[in-house]
Structure 1
Amino acid sequence: MNSPPSPSPSRWFKVLRRTRLGEPCLRTYPLECVDLLRRARAAFRARQTLKETSRVAQLGAVVRMLEEHECDFVQALGKDLHKPHFETVMSELILVKNEALYAINNLKKWMQPQPVEKNLSTTLDDCCLVSEPVGVVLIVGGWCCPVQMCLVPLVGAIAAGNCAIINPSEWTANTAELLHRLIPLYLNNECFHVILALKNDLPDIVELKFDHVFFTGAREDGSRIAQAAARTLTPVTLVLGSKNPCYVDQQCDIVTTAQRIAWARFHNAGQSLVAPDYVLCHKDIQVRLIQALKCCLMQFFGPDPKESRSFGRMVNVDIFNKTKDVLWKSGKVTVGGQAIEAEKYIAPTILTDVVDTDIVMQQDIYGPVLPVLTVQNVDEAVAFINKQEKSLCVYAYSNNSQVISQLMNETYSGSFCANDCVLQSLMVTLPFGGVGASGTGSHHGRYSFDTFSHKKSCLLRSQRFECVTYLRYPPYEERNLSLMAWASTLSQRSQGWCQIL
């Protein structure tokens, strides 16, 4: 086990740069981050992360860290988000452990070269894809689930053989400090580091030039990160917030539907990138659905959710105020609506009489607020969803398989889940990520390994058989062209095109 480095205060220095117009421009960077990046690059060049044994050892260390400090993580998330013990273990710790164990179990297979289809002219050659680590990656975690949003990408980066610098969210300070303290105790101190940078400093840090940037969070922040990365041609993976629609069909079990929607929307006090943001249902079942949701809230949190040990709080006053303002400026409060700033508490709230121009439908909501809108049929629901930007998730509840198929095939989103919510984002065997305005790239399991790998194309030939390959050399002859075209063209079954040697 490595001994942790002594903590150092945040230090800054000025770097003289030049703008495109040639004018000098002073930019500020955290000195500590520059030093950590230098150390990580040196460790990567020394090939400290390349061997399978070293990757497995680091992944095992992540599992041990979570197991040996479960109480510390529960306590930190309790302070940051008033997060219940149950939610911390299930949605944070177990998820990360599953990712690490799945990577350990499959790493040997993932690291093997992948053969590709060959044509006649390359039939005696070895053609394959080799997965190479990209180098040093920056992982910027979100605050909704601050442990999994930092460590799930880290698992992928480790499995792929990279070094990594992690920046937990400043809004969950206790969790960030815990990761800052524990990761040096368990992981290689030269390869893996935690920085505690402020959100506004991140674009400058990104410009230090990493080999990949993985960001989870709000669209506005993701846009700034992407712009900063573009200036150094750094590839990015973005998992961004969005308005996740949830369609409830007339043909469904209302009680079960209400339970699953209420759990997904109101766990972690609604602070989630993957929770349903609004419900679309037929007007004939709206009253029954809302009554069922109300019963679920009573069952989950009791008559006063403020007193429930199972209900969280807003992460800070800023998110509290944004959520409260949206709550009272959209539709009609049918259930809940209570807000106490001193406790950063907002009750589980259901809104009705909402229209698509209301502010609750125009902004990403990170709070316990669920608007319920009505539509005439599934076609109108599909049209409504497709008028919005592509979301991170689309949910549909129905006992009619044709309705489910229509929602799945005619809407566009990063992921889709039928008759439940959120679970598709927790499965290690399914890729998770956004599309369009909800992000780019994906992760989880093998897809995290691929995200942090470069697929290098390799063709390994012998110097024998020059009696065949000489046909490609000048002076060109029509007969040689015919033979080469015949040998280089894939069969129709493969839908391939001519590949000239």
Structure 2
Amino acid sequence: MANFTELVNGVRQVFRSGRTVTYEWRRTQLEGMLKLLDENMDKLTDALYKDLHKAKAEAMMMELNMVRNEVINTMNSLTTWMKPEKVKKELINIMDTCYIKSEPYGVVLILGAWNYPIQLSLLPLIGALSAGNCAILKPSEISQNCAQLIEQLIPKYLDNDCVKVVNGGVPETTALLSERFDYIFYTGNNVVAKIVMAAAAKYLTPVTLELGGKSPVYVDRNVNMEVVARRILWGKCSNAGQTCIAPDYVLCSKDVQDQLIEQLKKIIPEFYSENPVESGHYGRIVNERHFQRVKKLMQSGTVAIGGDVKDDERFISPTVLRDVKVTDPAMQDEIFGPVLPIITVGDDNEAIDVINSREKPLALYIFSNNKRVVHNFLNRTSSGGVCVNDTLMHISIPTLPFGGVGHSGVGSYHGKFSFETFSHRRSVMERGLTLDSVNAIRYPPYTEKKLQMVSWLSSQKVKKTGFFSFFPFVIIGTVVAFLFKALGIHGKEVSHTD
């Protein structure tokens, strides 16, 4: 095992040299990342297929194109993001220059995940580099082909003094976490997240934890059930269900359950043929441990669709379980596989009670044409994100932050939010040394007159709302109009006579 103390200290010395602070360095790293993607698409898609049986189209859509677009968006926006942010000043500070300066934390540790091994390693790295940090990247060893490829490619395209890749398993991760970092970004599960948070607490290191949870789906009455079934099935079975924001379970009435199952039976063969094990568009469970775990979850409720497995390929067919109870095995932990339990409820209020009885999910999906129902969920539940009448798609918008709340995560990223996550927002006030007599009121000895002056200059006032918020402008307008009239100034015509 490498000496990680020497590794981290070496990278920290490079950061302290100031090399990474400039726009030019950051831009060069982003250009290198773009080149890495463009020149190695075939290698990357091949590694994803070997690790997860991920179809090329799915790999391009949900991993490589997403990363590529993030790089380009960051390149196009970086000069704007790096500019100091001016802030509103009070009367007492009117002569000062006050702004927020985004500065890099230093040396950051990024712990990637196995289910989207390219996306979940490179997206946070883009944010870290755009913010001017040095980074040590630890891909997940479970997706070993992708991890090895990342280790081979990164040194060829990025600054090898500032960006290091460490491969290995639990011993290497444990050893890395014993070192002091300036920021830690982890994607994975709650169990490891607690270990990461405990390690970070030793040095009071800030963290972002991108976790998961049981993301619920509510299906209302009077919706286009064929469209709903397509969108749920796509979200559930992409990457064989191994997606942190995959629909985990469905809440609906008994009659909707029957309609949904009927439509899913029709659509599964459309997506994956009559025999999904032969489909080139359907993934596999990543390893034997997860395969056995997901298989056990099918012993819940009644199998309405699927339930087929092939042990030698770690294949589990798209499976729907009906009449599942909240106490069943499939409802205890995140499924992370192509198994969809359906729980029947009376209405949206009962569905909300079920959701609120559990930990806060990473995503919430609502299928309804009724705005009252949608707003009921938005106002009475909490989740990392919400997508109405679709699944997964909300994370494709770079202007929306992606992250969890409570047990589903801490912090967020994507687009500008990645830059902000890896930046310390530093408050800056610049003052001159002249006119110090103005400051006399704050210096001892204090008098009643000084106190009154300070109170007048620094006191805040509650803003009025409604009509009264415009009342001062009405008064000013009236006074101006009166002066115009008194001086004989009219707006109808202008005289040009001498």
1:283-327 alpha-carbon deviations (Å, 9 max, x no partner)? 121111011112111110011100000000010000000000111
Task: Give the whole-Å Cα distance in 2 for the aligned partners of 1:234 and 1:63.
Answer: 30
User: Secondary structure in 1 aligned to 2:252?
Assistant: strand
Residue 270 of structure 1 corresponds to 241
Larger mean CA deviation between 128-137 and 45-54 belongs to: 45-54
For residue 101 of structure 1, give the secondary structure of its aligned residue in structure 2: helix
Aligned to 2:378: 408
Structure 2 residue 250 is matched with structure 1 residue 250? no
Give how far 1:80 is off. Answer: 0.2
Distance in 2 between the 1:468 and 1:485 partners?
15
Name 2:40's counterpart in structure 1: 69
Task: Pick one of 116, 125, 129 that aligns with 1:145.
Answer: 116
Write the distance in 2 (CA, Å) between the matches of 1:93 and 1:35: 33
Q: Does 1:428 align with 2:398?
A: yes
Query: In structure 1, what is the equivalent of residue 16 of structure 2?
Result: 45
Residue equivalent to 2:483: none
Q: How far apart, in 2, do the equivalents of 1:373 and 1:324 lie?
A: 19
Structure 1 residue 35, shift from structure 2 partner: 3.2
Larger displacement relative to structure 2 (37-46 or 308-317): 37-46
**Contact kept? 2:70, 2:415, Cα under 8 Å:** yes
1:38 CA drift (Å): 2.2
AA of the residue aligned to 2:429? L
Residue identity over aligned pairs, in percent, reads: 43
Residue 298 of structure 2 aligns to a residue whose secondary structure is helix
1:52-451 paired onto structure 2 within 5 Å = 52-328=23-299, 330-451=300-421
Are 1:127 and 1:460, in contact at CA under 8 Å, matched by a contact in 2?
yes
Q: 1:427 to 1:221 in 2, by over 3 A?
A: same
Aligned counterparts of 2:267 and 2:274: Cα–Cα separation in 1: 11
Q: Aligned partners of 1:314, 1:219: CA distance in 2, in Å?
A: 20
- Give the one of 465, 490, 496 matched to 2:435: 465
The Cα of 1:378 is off from its aligned counterpart by 0.8
For residues 420 and 460 of structure 2, what CA distance do their matches in structure 1 show?
27
8 A Cα contact 1:119 1:490, kept in partner: no
Question: What SS does the corresponding residue of 1:49 show, helix, strand or coil?
Answer: helix
Following superposition, the deviation at residue 200 of structure 1 comes to 4.8
Give per-residue Cα distances to partners, 1:103-134, cap 9 Å, x unaligned: 11111111111111211100111111110100
Kept in 2, the 8 Å contact 1:222–1:238? The answer is yes
Assess if the C-alpha contact under 8 Å between 1:169 and 1:176 holds in 2.
Answer: yes
180-189 or 365-374, which deviates more: 365-374
> How far apart, CA to CA, are the structure 2 residues paired with 1:294 and 1:211?
51
Are the equivalent residues in 2 in contact too, given 1:351–1:371 (CA < 8 A)? yes
Distance 1:441 1:358 in 2: 31
**3-state SS of paired residue (2:21):** coil
Distance 2:39 2:142 in 1: 25
What is aligned with 1:24?
Answer: none
State the AA in 1 paired with 2:218. Answer: Y
1:34 Cα deviation after fit: 2.9
Secondary structure of the 1:428 match is coil
1: CA distance, partners of 2:52 / 2:443? 69
Which residue of structure 2 aligns with residue 477 of structure 1?
447
Structure 2 residue aligned with 1:34 = 5
**SS, match of residue 463 in structure 2:** helix
Residue deviations 1:397-431 (CA, integer Å, cap 9, x gap): 01112211111221100101100111112221110
Q: For residues 150 and 53 of structure 2, what CA distance do their matches in structure 1 show?
A: 18
Q: Aligned letter for 2:51?
A: D
How big is the shift at 1:64? Answer: 1.1
Q: Which amino acid aligns with 1:414?
A: G
The match for 1:8 is none
Give the drift of 1:243: 0.4
| Aligned 8 A contact 1:207 1:232 in 2 | no
Distance in 1 between the 2:464 and 2:409 partners? 32
Give unmatched runs, 5+ long, in structure 2: 466-498
Q: C-alpha separation between the residues in 2 aligned to 1:326 and 1:285?
A: 23
CA deviation map 1:24-66 (0-9, x unaligned): xxxxxx41x3333122112111111111111111111111111
The one-letter amino acid paired with 1:59 is L
Q: Give the Cα separation in 1 of the matches to 2:460 and 2:424.
A: 26
Give deviations 1:474-499, integer Å, cap 9, x for gaps: 1111110110111112342399xxxx
Question: Quick one: distance in 2 between partners of 1:212 and 1:108?
Answer: 23
Paired with 1:176 and 1:203, the residues of 2 have a C-alpha distance of: 17
SS in 1 for 2:457: helix
Letter paired with 2:164: H
Give the unaligned 5+ runs of structure 1. Answer: 1-10, 12-29, 496-501
RMSD value, Cα: 1.3
Tell me the residue number matched to 1:4.
Answer: none
| Equivalent-residue separation in structure 1 for 2:460 and 2:44 (angstroms) | 55
Give yes or no for contact 2:257–2:322 (8 Å, CA) kept in 1: no
Q: Which amino acid aligns with 1:466?
A: D
TM-score, normalised with respect to structure 2: 0.92
Structure 1 distance, partners of 2:330, 2:230, is: 22
Q: CA deviation at 1:265?
A: 0.2
- Give the aligned length: 465
TM, length-normalised to structure 1: 0.91
Letter in structure 2 aligned against 1:450? E
Displacement of 1:167 after TM fit?
0.6
Q: Tell me how far apart the structure 1 counterparts of residues 30 and 216 of structure 2 sit (CA, whole Å).
A: 36
The structure whose Rg is larger is 2
